[in-house]
Amino acid sequence: MPARLSHVAALALYFILNALPCLAAYVPLRQYEGSTFFDGWAYYGNVDNTTWGNVTYLDRADATSKRLTYVNDAGNAIVQVDNTTTLVRNADVVNRDSIRLTSLDSYGMGSLIVMDALHIPYGCSVWPAFWTYGIEKEWPEAGEIDIIEAINDMERNQVALHTIPGCSKADTLPQSGRTLETDCSTNRGCIVAESKPNSFGPGFSEAGGGVYALLLEPTSINVWFFSRADIPSNIASASRTSSLDIESWGTPTAAYPPTRCNLTQYFPPQNLILLTTLCGVWAGNPSIYRASSCPVRR
């Protein structure tokens, strides 16, 4: 089992205050950080019955007692997978303890979500994700936005939207990433691959982590990634009271315009999800697992 399974994160959210032709200013609405980080989340408390990974997501009491979620002395929230327990081999079901968090609050159009992470789990069998979905309807009727999602030994992150039929990605807005899929209603979703280095895997951690940002607007859903050395100054110096102007952030990694998808229709208010599963329908798919240069042990 991989050793690099801890997940260190500080998360802040903003909503739109003012929008002018040359200015979009966002002011703080809510922060998930420090000693109160976990107060704004619900723990799943069940097996992975959505992507069928080999994990059991703990409730808050068990997660706390087993030290799979806590805030360290530096004030960073730690969200991790058990990597110390020896599991019984050849059992019918072998699940490792892990965490899945769902935000208690939802965020609609006009929201800017900023996540600062120092480390993201990686390695063979590992499938971490930070994403959103509308919980008021059965998935994917209220949409899903994958902000961070990669598996195994991938070195770069992928962004994706998932919807019911009728929503596709158009490349009519500039983006720095590469579009891999355009139909958002397929199982894979409409995907943009990150082109910048250090967005996932050992490179991300060795660079000191970085920042991901999601903008939800009727005119575009955008996702940015900034490695630690490239974080815009207004994010690096942001406080509980400071506003953010995104004009200085440059071209996003992924841009989803409304020209082939009514974004407001397909993406009602979204809840945030933070999790790590192991194997499952993507990371554990035999052909994908082997293609990731992951050894098959018996």
| Residue range 8-135+198-249+272-291, CATH number | 2.60.120.200
pLDDT in tens, 212-230: 999 999 999 999 999 999 9
pLDDT in tens, 71-114: 999 999 999 999 999 887 767 778 999 999 999 999 999 999 99
The pLDDT mean for the chain works out to 91
- Known catalytic residues are 144, 149
Q: What is the CA radius of gyration of the chain?
A: 18
pTM of the model: 0.93
Among 126, 47, 130, 132, CA closest to 94: 47
Instruction: Parse the chain into domains and list their residue ranges.
Output: 8-135+198-249+272-291
